[in-house]
């Protein structure tokens, strides 16, 4: 059997639109900005419209007042401290069972009027526009991301100068906010950055910053990048090697005779070194790609409709790949590993050509695969990929 190889960049989807929107130039960002310095980007009119539409003030109003949103999806901070949930939630019941942490909009708005900042947490999990942005950004960076939003009243500051333990993109969708940024890559006084709709900013890990509103209420989104580090990769690569050391007890009596420990340690370090020399970097890289592209949380909007429609799927039905869903094909001997973002499929290698056609096409019909598969086979494959969430039925 062939050793699986890591997919090449050409085999990945083209998700750079999200990174282009936030940074202005994806290639320049990756080559010169990433993990090194602060970057501020002013979008054009199209970018402004795209950014502000991701989460509007009306959207936040609806989330707070028209849904059963609960903690910890919302927290509230004032004067640099997080307020107890009891100050803005209320008890309720659902089907006779207690429902805890339910937001009380009146309490939330009273706290907001009093200068508190409302924080919507993990929006990528329940607000589809930001979920789609995060999904694309994750694929462009290869790092897990999350989305929070901060609604701050006029003349207020949610948190004092602080550092985040991860990189962030921030962008304004309503009002404006003045940021004090201490860029470690620049000498001199703190930088003042005014974020207003259409402006985004990137801050590397550990960049001290604080933000304050002026005359208007502010709504901004923070995309947190929970970066994958070389240590993470090496720890996973070494985990298997450490298993070779065995689980035997160290010798008793080593406190009086440290040589007992040193001799055993020398033997095991030698064995470990031999295992490390035998590690294949390409195989380790393949494992990292596979881990990332099978462990994401993806949106399946329209999945129920598709499960109903798939029974009527015919040769002329129009299909397309679901937005934000990767499809990476990795040859593995007579099989083909298909990495879908949140799972992995194993399919016959002979399906590589039709799967590549599906992966690359903006939309297609099963009949378009006639050169690769007979009618029954192509319908079976298409129906399965609809059920797996990779494809959606158009119309």
Which of 2.60.120.650, 3.30.1490.70, 3.10.129.10, 3.30.230.10 would CATH assign to domain 9-225? 2.60.120.650
Residue 6 has phi, psi (to 5 degrees) of -65, 140
User: Which pLDDT score is estimated for 353?
Assistant: 96
pLDDT computed for residue 53 by the predictor: 96
Q: Would you give the DSSP letter of residue 85?
A: G
Domain residue spans in the chain? 9-225, 230-280, 303-393
CATH number for the domain formed by residue range(s) 303-393 = 3.90.930.40
pLDDT tens, residue by residue, 48-87: 999 999 999 999 999 999 999 999 999 999 988 999 999 9
Mean pLDDT of 88-115: 95
Is pLDDT at 297 greater than 60 in this prediction? yes
Higher pLDDT, 281 or 275: 281
- pLDDT tens digits for range 116-166: 999 999 999 999 999 999 999 999 999 999 999 999 999 887 677 889 999
Residue 148, CB-side half-sphere exposure with 13 Å CA sphere: 15
Torsion, Cα of 164, 122, 300, 167 (10° steps): -10
* Predicted pLDDT of residue 310: 96
5 has pLDDT over 80: no
Q: Using the 8-state DSSP alphabet, how is residue 98 labeled?
A: E
Q: Average pLDDT in the 16-38 region? A: 94
Cα angle: 148, vertex 41, 210; to 5 degrees = 50
């Amino acid at each position: 059997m062939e050793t699986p190889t890591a997919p090449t960049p050409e085999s990945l989807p083209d998700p750079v639109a999200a990174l282009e929107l936030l940074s202005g130039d994806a290639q320049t960002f990756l080559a010169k900005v990433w993990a090194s310095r602060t970057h501020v980007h002013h979008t054009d009119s199209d970018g402004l419209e795209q950014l502000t539409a991701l989460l509007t003030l009306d959207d936040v109003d609806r989330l707070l007042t028209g849904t059963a949103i609960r903690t910890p999806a919302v927290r509230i901070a004032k004067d640099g401290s997080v307020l107890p949930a009891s100050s803005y939630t209320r008890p309720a019941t659902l089907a006779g069972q207690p429902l805890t942490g339910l937001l009380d909009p009146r309490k939330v708005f009273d706290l907001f009027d009093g200068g508190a900042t409302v924080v919507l947490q993990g929006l990528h999990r329940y607000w589809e526009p930001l979920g789609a942005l995060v999904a694309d950004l994750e694929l462009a960076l290869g790092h897990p991301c999350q989305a929070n939003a901060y609604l701050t009243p006029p003349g207020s500051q949610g948190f004092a100068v602080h550092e985040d333990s991860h990189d962030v993109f921030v962008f304004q969708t309503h009002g404006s906010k003045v940021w004090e940024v201490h860029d470690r890559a620049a000498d001199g006084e703190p930088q003042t950055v005014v974020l207003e709709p259409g402006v985004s900013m990137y801050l590397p890990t550990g960049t001290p910053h604080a933000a304050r509103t002026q005359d208007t209420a502010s709504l901004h989104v923070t995309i947190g990048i929970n970066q994958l580090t070389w240590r993470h990769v090496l720890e996973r690569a070494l985990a298997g090697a450490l298993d070779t050391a065995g689980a035997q007890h160290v010798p008793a009596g080593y406190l009086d005779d440290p040589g007992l420990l040193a001799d055993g340690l020398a033997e095991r370090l030698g064995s470990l070194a031999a295992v490390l020399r035998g590690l294949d970097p390409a195989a380790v890289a393949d494992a990292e790609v596979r881990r990332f592209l099978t462990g994401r949380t993806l949106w399946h909007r329209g999945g129920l409709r598709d499960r109903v429609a798939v029974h009527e799927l015919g040769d002329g039905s129009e299909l397309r790949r679901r937005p934000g869903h990767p499809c990476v094909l990795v040859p593995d001997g007579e099989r083909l590993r298909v990495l879908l973002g949140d799972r992995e499929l194993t399919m016959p290698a002979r399906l590589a050509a039709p799967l590549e056609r599906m992966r690359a096409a903006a939309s297609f019909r099963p009949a378009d695969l006639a050169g690769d598969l007979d009618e029954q086979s192509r319908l079976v494959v298409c129906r399965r990929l609809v059920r797996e969430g990779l494809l959606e039925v158009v119309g």
